[in-house]
């Protein structure tokens, strides 16, 4: 299967690859092309911006969370119907997972580019460079001959003369300069304790930023040259990932509510697709605005986000908090990750939450970040005991206690973690269910079993 594609990478973090990738997606979309946006790694926030620019979900490609063998099928699934795909990298081009059980560079941007057989465009922060840029680019072009560096975009260029010096220096490096972008302070995207503010929270402001990024990239980058580069990517010998082939659907079509809205913006599109493929009717609930779960809700999924930013407003919605607690009390399955754990807790920074878990949660000065290899401690609505998964932590909060009498997971870095009590599974661990499709299948089956008989009869 063939799809024109390019990977946007950088020598390091904070070089501007998110701005350039988002601008590239926006500029190509403005030309009338259907652009499929992707992101290397577990990041939830950057795909929100490229997805906003493309008008379709930004999808993650992560060999750790999904399994190396699924990266290409998941890419082809996300790129269905697209004219071109833009894959934003993570960290520096060759920076991968640091887990001791994987080889250096595993899950790096270079690793994913090799799997996709895609050319790479290197975004270089040229703000403090002149002739030295040639040595930098030469090093990245020759470090790994399996990675094809197809061009460079110079970012944060100071002036016409600065650009001229940079282009002259790169003339002998053998890598085409595809464009140059000036230093533009007004394009800075607001950040907070976990990185960029999600696009879904900024609404009109985010749309304006994305549109302006598209204009800047269209004005400074040779889009025709980029498109020619994307077309050099060879066909991929793989079948697109299909959620229906991963799970067995249950009968009864139980209704599963998934938390959304500004406070819960972290979620992988494939997770909801797997829930639907497993037989669920997937509906959305916004804990900031909705005062009750959707009628007939059999189970609830609360993923990640920033409830700490919205703690007062979430607490003020006492009606929904009570409804969530009632669902859990009557045995309705609840799966919560990170922000979901905070929402189910007794309190968050002193604000009353749902009280499903007798846990106090609060902001912490310490960032907890990294991949985790975890094992399920006991049977739960999400996984049977002994299930092994690979997940990811990303938070600046803590829970006291950090684990219940029956923990959700066990891993080497933290010991027992999370809560698996009754019909509730809550943990700081983020999971990409495409890597463990048995989890959503088990959860939907638990939801179907929890539907009252009178409700089942009404749907027959």
Side-chain half-sphere CA neighbours of 447 within 13 A: 32
395 neighbors 194 (Cβ within 8 angstroms): yes
140-144's contacts with Cβ under 8 Å and 24+ in sequence apart are 140/11, 140/93, 141/173, 141/174, 141/175, 143/94, 144/94, 144/110
User: Tell me, what's the pLDDT at 454?
Assistant: 56
Q: 50-67: per-residue pLDDT in tens?
A: 999 999 999 999 999 999
Range in 31-35, 101-105, 140-144, 324-328 the model is least confident about: 101-105
User: Tell me, what's the pLDDT at 24?
Assistant: 98
| Domain 243-459, CATH among 3.40.50.880, 3.50.50.60, 3.40.50.720, 3.30.360.10 | 3.40.50.880
- pTM as predicted: 0.94
Mean pLDDT in residue range 341-351: 97
**Alpha-helical regions (H) of 143-291:** 160-170, 199-202, 204-220, 223-230, 269-277
Identify the burial level of 352 via C-beta atoms within 10 angstroms of its C-beta, where 0-12 means exposed, 13-18 middle and 19 or more buried: middle
Pairwise CA distance, residues 188 & 312, whole Å: 28
Pairwise CA distance, residues 91 & 391, whole Å: 19
Cα torsion through 132, 136, 138, 142, rounded to 10: 160
What CATH code would you report for 5-230? 3.40.50.300
Write out the two tokens for 437.
Answer: 């499709």
Q: Is 160 or 203 the better-scoring residue by pLDDT?
A: 160
Domain range list for the chain: 5-230, 243-459
Pairwise CA distance, residues 450 & 423, whole Å: 9
Query: In a 3-state reduction of DSSP, which class is residue 167?
Result: helix
Which of the residues 113, 153, 338, 376 is marked catalytic?
338
Pairwise CA distance, residues 393 & 371, whole Å: 6
Pairwise CA distance, residues 150 & 147, whole Å: 9
Report the candidate in 256, 283, 298 with the shortest Cα–Cα distance to residue 452: 298
- The pLDDT of residue 18 is above 80: yes
User: Tell me, what's the pLDDT at 195?
Assistant: 45
Is 338 a residue of the active site?
yes
């Amino acid at each position: 299967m063939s799809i024109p594609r390019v990977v946007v990478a950088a020598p390091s973090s904070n070089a501007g690859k998110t701005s350039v990738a988002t601008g590239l997606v926006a500029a190509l979309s403005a030309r009338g092309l259907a652009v499929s946006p992707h992101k290397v790694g577990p990041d939830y926030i950057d795909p929100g911006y490229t997805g906003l620019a493309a008008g379709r979900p930004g999808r993650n490609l992560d060999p750790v969370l999904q399994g190396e063998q699924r990266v290409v099928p998941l890419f082809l699934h996300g790129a269905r119907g697209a004219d071109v795909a833009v894959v934003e990298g993570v960290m520096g081009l060759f920076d991968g997972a640091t887990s001791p059980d994987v080889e250096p560079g595993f899950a790096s941007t270079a690793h994913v580019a090799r799997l996709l057989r895609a050319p790479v465009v290197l975004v270089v922060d040229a703000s403090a460079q002149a002739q030295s840029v040639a040595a930098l680019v030469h090093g990245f072009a020759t470090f790994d001959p399996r990675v094809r560096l197809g061009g460079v975009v110079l970012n944060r260029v100071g002036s016409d003369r600065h650009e001229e010096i940079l282009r002259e220096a790169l003339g002998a490096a053998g890598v085409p300069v595809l464009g140059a972008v000036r230093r533009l302070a007004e394009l800075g995207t607001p950040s907070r304790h976990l990185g960029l503010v999600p696009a879904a929270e900024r609404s009109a402001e985010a749309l304006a930023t994305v549109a302006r990024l598209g204009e800047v990239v269209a004005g400074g980058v040779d889009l025709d040259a980029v498109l020619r580069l994307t077309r050099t990517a060879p066909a991929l010998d793989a079948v697109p990932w299909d959620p229906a082939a991963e799970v067995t659907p249950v009968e009864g079509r139980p209704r599963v509510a998934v938390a959304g809205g500004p406070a819960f913006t972290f979620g992988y599109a494939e997770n909801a697709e797997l829930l639907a493929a497993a037989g669920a009717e997937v509906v959305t609930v916004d804990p900031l605005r909705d005062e009750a779960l959707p009628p007939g809700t059999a189970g609830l999924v609360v993923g990640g986000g920033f409830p700490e930013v919205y703690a007062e407003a979430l607490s003020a919605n006492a009606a929904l908090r009570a409804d969530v607690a009632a669902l859990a009390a009557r045995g309705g399955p609840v799966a919560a990750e990170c922000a979901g754990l905070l929402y189910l807790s007794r309190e968050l920074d002193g604000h009353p939450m749902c009280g499903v878990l007798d846990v106090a949660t609060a902001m912490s000065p310490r960032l907890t970040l990294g991949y985790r290899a975890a094992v399920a401690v006991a049977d739960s609505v999400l996984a049977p005991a002994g299930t092994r998964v690979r997940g990811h932590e990303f938070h600046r909060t803590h829970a006291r206690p950090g684990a219940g009498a029956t923990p959700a997971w066990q891993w080497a870095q933290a010991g027992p973690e999370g809560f698996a009590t009754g019909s509730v599974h809550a943990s700081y661990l983020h999971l990409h269910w495409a890597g463990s499709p048995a989890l959503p299948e088990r959860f939907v089956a638990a939801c179907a079993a929890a539907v009252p008989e009178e409700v089942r009869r009404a749907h027959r």
